[in-house]
Amino acid sequence: MAYTKKVIDHFENPRNIGSLDKSQKSVGTGLVGAPECGDVMKLQIEVDEATGVIKDAKFKTFGCGSAIASSSLATEWVKGKTVTEALTIRNTHIVEELSLPPIKIHCSVLAEDAIKAAVQDYINKKELV
C-alpha cells in the first residue's frame, strides 16, 4: 500500500511522542483500542486550569503507520485549543488532512475517540475535586 507524504512524515517524525504524569489533576489520559484489533492509542492532554486551554499533548500508539500518523496529528491539533474546541475535531478532518484510504478510516475514528477519552478523563478528575 502506498502512503501519502503526510502519513510518512508523521510516521517518520512523529510529533509529541511521550507521556505526561497521569496522576496530575491537570492531565487527562485517553487509552483507546485493543491489542487484538492491532491498534492501541494513548493520548494525553495537559490543561491550563485557569483558561481551559490545552498547553501540552503527548501520545503513544501501537498500530499501523496511519494510526501513528492520526494520533500524531491529533496531538498537534489539540494543542492551543480549549478542551471544548478540542472536542470539535472529527475523524473526517483527520481523514482529509492525511488523505487516508477507506480501509484506514478506523485509524482516524480511534484518534477522535482518544481525544474525547482524554478530555473526559480530565473532566472526571476535576469533578472529583
Partner 1 sequence: MNLSSNTKSVKTPIYLDYHSTTPVDPRVLETMMPTFSEVFGNASSRNHPFGWAAEALVEKARAQVADLIGASDKEILFTSGATESNNLAILGVAELYHEKGRHLITSPTEHKAVLDTMAVLERRGYEVTYLNLDSTGLISIDELEKAIRPDTILVSIMAGNNEIGTIQPISEIGRICKQKGVLFHTDAVQAVGKIPVDVQAMGIDLLSLTAHKIYGPKGVGALYVRRKNPRVRLAAQIHGGGHEKGMRSGTLNVSGIVGLGRACEIAKQSLRIESEKLRTLRDRLWQGLQDNLGDIYLNGHPTERLPNNLNVSFAYVEGESLMMGMKELAVSSGSACTSSSLEPSYVLKAIGVGEDLAHTSIRFSVGRFTTEDEIDYAIAKVVSTVTRLRELSPLYEMAKEGIDIKSVQWTAH
Point out the residues that are catalytic.
37, 107
Q: Which of 129, 116, 126 is nearest to 26 (CA)?
A: 126
d(CA 62, CA 39): 5
Options 46-54, 77-85, 91-99, 105-113: segment touching partner 1 (CB under 8 A): 105-113
112 binds partner 1 (CB under 8 A): no
Q: For partner 1, which is the closer residue by CB, 52 or 65? A: 65
> In sequence order, what are the residues at sequence separation of 6 or more whose Cβ sits closer than 8 angstroms to the Cβ of residue 7?
65, 66, 69, 98, 99, 100
* Strand segments (E) across the chain: 27-34, 39-48, 53-62
Shortest Cβ 35–partner 1 spacing (Å)? 4
27: region left, alpha or beta (phi > 0 left; psi from -120 to 50 alpha): beta
Which member of 37, 55, 96, 124 binds partner 1 (CB under 8 A)?
A: 37
Q: For partner 1, which is the closer residue by CB, 12 or 49? A: 12
Q: For partner 1, which is the closer residue by CB, 78 or 110? A: 110
Which member of 9, 76, 85, 113 binds partner 1 (CB under 8 A)?
A: 113
